[in-house]
Amino acid sequence: MPLTPDQQAEIDELRAAPRSTLRAVSEGMEAHLYKAIPVLDHGFVRVVDYMGDDAAITQAARVSYGKGTKSVQNDEGLIRYLMRHWHSTPFEMCEAKFHVKLPVFVARQWIRHRTANVNEYSARYSILDREFYIPAAEDLAAQSAVNNQGRGEVLQGEEAARVLDLLRQDSMRAYDHYEEMISQDGQQGLARELARMNLPANIYTQWYWKVDLHNLLHFLRLRADAHAQYEIRVYADAICKVVADWVPFAYKAFEDYRLGSVTLSAQMVDCVKRMLAGEEVTEETCGMSKREWREFRELWAQTTS
């Protein structure tokens, strides 16, 4: 179950008592407040609080000019200019705080993005729930033969069933031993901070994650990418939908200039010029490494198909 009864009761109570405010409000983000978006089998993302909207970005960019007589079209155009030219400070004027429930191994990837404020559920003080991420059969894949960080072909039939069975058995056995260590028939059990070390990386944890829009978009650019690991990408995809409703001008510019764009090295640009001039460029004449040449060919195929 993504939300506990206590968490759902707290959310229902907060949503039942709306408050008036003089601060800038994003109607799109207001609709997301306190609503949990299910992710994976037991996880979720929900917005706890936020600050700013599209207007906050343009206000910061114009500084002393204020809103004045600027039109909506001018605001959108300015945001697109800021995104196109990699300005960062105006986007830092917006912030969001998320409550996220996620597997520990996903959290360890996520925390690599160090430009946020994080407070995680502590297994030193509390007992973790018996909830584990078990992939769907279609998400089980073999190791990629060409990418040490990626997946290859999807496992099929008996092999997929065998792996799923191992994951379930190991998870349950580890949790059984965890419970045994912290509770021993009325006697004082092992300290929780020690007992937790036996738990697998697919157990669920929770945290509050507060981040400004500039760094959030950087996170999404990497983790909503098709090459990102599936288990973190689905969280990024859920957050993308929230951001699109929160700051629609900024998110559209982000889609156009970040998610939907490609980056070319100087050598790649040179190859494009030569190819457009009619020259046949090969791996031997491109001036790139074998891997970079492969990546270039993939990009070329995507953009010319």
- Report the alpha-carbon distance of residue 237 to residue 304 in Å, rounded: 26
Q: Is 223 a catalytic residue?
A: yes
pLDDT at 90: 95
pLDDT at 162: 92
- Report the alpha-carbon distance of residue 34 to residue 161 in Å, rounded: 37
pLDDT at 117: 97
pLDDT at 146: 64
Phi, psi torsion values for 119, nearest 5 degrees: -135, 115
pLDDT at 34: 84
CATH architecture of 5-133+202-259: 2-Layer Sandwich (3.30)
- pLDDT tens digits, one per residue of 279-300: 999 999 999 999 999 989 988 8
Beta-carbon count within 10 A of 281 CB:
19
Q: Which residues contact 251 (CB under 8 A, 6 or more apart)?
A: 240, 243, 244
In a 13 Å sphere around the CA of 219, the CA atoms on its Cβ side amount to: 26
Within the chain, which residues score under 70 in pLDDT? 1, 64-73, 144-150, 152, 184-186
List the chain domain ranges. Answer: 5-133+202-259, 135-201, 266-304
Q: Are 282 and 272 within 8 A, CB to CB? A: no
Q: Are 210 and 119 within 8 A, CB to CB? A: no
Q: Give the active site residue among 223, 258, 291, 294.
A: 223
- Report the alpha-carbon distance of residue 108 to residue 7 in Å, rounded: 24
Q: Please name the helix (run of DSSP H) or strand (run of DSSP E) that holds residue 142, with its range, or none.
A: strand 141-143
